[in-house]
């Protein structure tokens, strides 16, 4: 529909898309485009206190690849925290997540930091993260736990205070910086914010200097660096090629300790695998995490048959097996959790290979196990909260979200098709334009409402699982 509005108004689709990103309403954007063309679209500006989609990064295997694509570059520590967008207008401050959820009430320390700045209006992009007494990052799951509830915020803050570090500035005191180069935006950021509120960074075209900067970030417990083009604008809502993330991965060879029975379309199959490593002190195994995504139906059937043959005991939710399977994980960071009493670290990376010494292997993704989310240990055979009944409801929320996504897509497609048929049947360019704009609004409404609800349900499931796990 963006393309249809652009064609009707004879303006570039990119200009319509940008105005829509800023306005959030295709109808008003199309009206301005028809009335005043590109000049009308240029009047749409950032609105402080209304969030916009953040710019995202692509990945690079290493600094050599990143510098082959971007040089000279700005390098920043890649913090393993939660992306936040903080808006201030006078004394009013609002904080939003990467998914544009309003979390202002849950992060009072971010609000205080923004209010203390010597400015009247600003939109800042950054990371919120929990640090320990030595200034090193605490487990990612602990940082995320601060976003899960609006109750007892004062107690949560006292137990786990958040720090905020900003790396971009999109607006300040009536002036938009969205289309300015990164060099200009960062100069304004450095001028307005004290060093303790900015992500550490350097600018360089020297690969060895960049490697030293990366080593420093890793030494302080962070997961890597961001490599950013200095002449690029802020591409809101896009995974642009002018931002590259570089993380250093290591692998862990783990064994499969148990598997949980699936639900939904995986009912009757063993799905979530419990992975662990040997504890050198006790000789037993410590559970580090779970992996369950990316498995085909064939793989699920095969692993169910194989695991049942290795069963040692079970409960209604979980089958425990002999230690004869292994799984290779990159530890990148095994989400940098504190050591468990057994001396291992919790993990939440992607599994590279799973299976016995021979047999099919499929790449999967994993999530941290409950004890890992607490920073504690869980020996093989111990039940975890994934088996608790309240966790099943979050699976049902995800299923409902998937149905809503499909319904929204179909509704939008039908509205678009009906619009095209109607437009073809009428005569006159003015009537055709009105029909196209009406159809665009209908398509946007019919498609966006179910998709927005689906996104909210997924976010609720994420938060619920995290809170229940704690």
At 204-259, the pLDDT tens digits run 999 999 999 999 999 999 999 999 999 999 988 788 899 999 998 777 788 899 99
Parse the chain into domains and list their residue ranges: 2-42, 56-247, 251-385, 390-469
Q: Are strands 364-368 and 285-293 parallel, antiparallel or unpaired?
A: antiparallel
The pair phi, psi for residue 139, each rounded to 5°, is -50, 140
pLDDT tops 80 at residue 314 = yes
Q: Which pLDDT band holds residue 328 (cuts at 50, 70, 90)?
A: low
Strand order in the sheet with 73-78: 56-59, 239-247, 224-229, 73-78, 201-204
Segments in 24-117 forming alpha helices (H): 26-42, 63-69, 108-115
pLDDT tops 80 at residue 13 = yes
Q: Which pLDDT band holds residue 416 (cuts at 50, 70, 90)?
A: confident
Q: Is the pTM of this model over 0.75?
A: no
pLDDT tops 90 at residue 402 = no
pLDDT tops 50 at residue 34 = yes
For residues 144-159, average pLDDT = 90
Which of 21-35, 343-357, 408-422 bottoms out in mean pLDDT, i.e. has the lowest?
343-357
Q: Which pairs from 110-116 meet CB under 8 Å and 24+ separation? A: 110/84, 110/86, 110/162, 110/164, 113/164, 113/197, 114/86, 114/88, 115/88, 115/91
Residue 296 near residue 302 (C-beta atoms within 8 A): no
Catalytic residue numbers?
A: 78
Which of the pair, 339 or 393, is modelled with greater confidence? 393
- In this prediction, residue 345 carries a pLDDT of 34
- In this prediction, residue 246 carries a pLDDT of 96
- In this prediction, residue 339 carries a pLDDT of 33
- In this prediction, residue 43 carries a pLDDT of 86
Question: For domain 56-247, which architecture applies?
Answer: 2-Layer Sandwich (3.30)
What angle, rounded to 10 degrees, do the helices at 429-469 and 26-42 form?
110
Q: Which pLDDT band holds residue 408 (cuts at 50, 70, 90)?
A: confident
Residue 171 near residue 85 (C-beta atoms within 8 A): no
**Beta strands, E only, 98-186:** 121-130, 162-172, 175-176
Residue-wise pLDDT for 44-64, tens only, equals 888 999 999 899 999 999 999
How confident is the prediction for the chain on average, in pLDDT? Answer: 80
- In this prediction, residue 398 carries a pLDDT of 66
Please state, as a whole number, how many other Cβ atoms lie within 10 Å of the Cβ of residue 265: 10
Rounded Cα distance, 160 and 462, in Å: 20
pLDDT tops 50 at residue 344 = no
Residue 97 near residue 87 (C-beta atoms within 8 A): no
Q: Which pLDDT band holds residue 42 (cuts at 50, 70, 90)?
A: confident
Q: Could you give the angle at the alpha carbon of 300 between the alpha carbons of 390 and 279, nearest 5°?
A: 70
- In this prediction, residue 325 carries a pLDDT of 58
**CATH classification (class only), 251-385:** mainly beta
Residues recorded for the chain: 470
Rounded Cα distance, 132 and 166, in Å: 19
Q: Which pLDDT band holds residue 146 (cuts at 50, 70, 90)?
A: very high
Residue-wise pLDDT for 64-104, tens only, equals 999 999 999 999 999 999 999 999 999 999 999 998 999 99
pLDDT tops 90 at residue 380 = no
Rounded Cα distance, 404 and 257, in Å: 36
- In this prediction, residue 346 carries a pLDDT of 36
pLDDT tops 80 at residue 121 = yes
């Amino acid at each position: 529909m963006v393309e249809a509005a652009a064609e009707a108004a004879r303006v570039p689709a990119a200009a319509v898309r940008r105005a829509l990103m800023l306005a959030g309403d295709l109808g008003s954007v199309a009206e301005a485009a028809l009335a005043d063309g590109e000049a009308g679209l240029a009047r749409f500006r950032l609105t402080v206190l209304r969030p916009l989609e953040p710019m995202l990064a692509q990945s690079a295997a290493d600094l050599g690849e990143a510098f082959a694509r971007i040089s000279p570059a700005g390098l920043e520590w890649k913090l393993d925290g939660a992306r936040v967008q903080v808006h201030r207008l006078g004394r009013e401050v609002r904080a939003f997540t990467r998914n544009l959820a309003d979390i202002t009430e849950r992060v009072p320390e971010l609000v205080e930091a923004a209010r203390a700045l010597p400015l009247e209006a600003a939109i800042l992009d950054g990371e919120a993260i929990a640090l320990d007494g030595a200034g090193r990052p605490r487990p990612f799951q602990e940082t995320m736990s601060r976003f899960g509830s609006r109750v007892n915020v004062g107690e949560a803050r006292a137990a786990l205070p958040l720090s905020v570090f900003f790396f971009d500035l999109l607006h300040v005191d009536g002036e938009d910086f969205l289309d300015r180069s990164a060099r200009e935006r960062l100069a304004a950021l450095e001028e307005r914010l004290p060093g303790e509120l900015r992500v550490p960074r350097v600018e360089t075209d020297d690969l060895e200097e960049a490697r030293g900067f990366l080593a420093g970030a890793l030494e302080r417990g962070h997961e890597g660096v961001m490599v950013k083009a200095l002449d690029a604008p802020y591409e809101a809502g896009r995974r642009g090629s002018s931002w590259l993330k570089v993380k250093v991965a290591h692998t862990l060879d783990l064994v499969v300790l148990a598997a949980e029975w699936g639900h939904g379309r995986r009912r009757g199959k063993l799905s979530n695998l419990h992975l662990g490593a040997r504890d050198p002190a006790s000789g037993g195994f410590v559970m580090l995490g779970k992996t369950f995504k990316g498995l085909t139906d064939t793989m699920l059937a095969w692993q169910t048959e194989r695991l049942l043959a290795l069963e040692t005991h079970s409960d209604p939710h979980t089958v425990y097996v002999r230690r004869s399977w292994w799984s290779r994980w990159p530890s990148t960071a095994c989400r940098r959790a504190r050591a468990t009493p057994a001396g291992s670290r919790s993990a939440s990376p992607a599994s590279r290979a799973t299976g016995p010494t021979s047999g099919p292997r499929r790449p999967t993704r994993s999530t941290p196990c409950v004890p890992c989310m607490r920073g504690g240990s869980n020996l093989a055979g111990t039940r975890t909260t994934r088996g608790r009944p309240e966790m099943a409801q979050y699976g049902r929320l995800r299923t409902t979200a998937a149905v809503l996504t499909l319904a929204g897509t179909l509704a939008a497609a039908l509205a678009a098709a009906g619009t095209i048929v109607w437009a073809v049947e009428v005569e006159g360019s003015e009537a055709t334009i009105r029909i196209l704009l009406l159809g665009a609004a209908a398509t946007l409404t019919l498609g966006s409402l179910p998709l927005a609800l689906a996104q909210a349900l997924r976010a609720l499931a994420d938060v619920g699982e995290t809170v229940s796990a704690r």
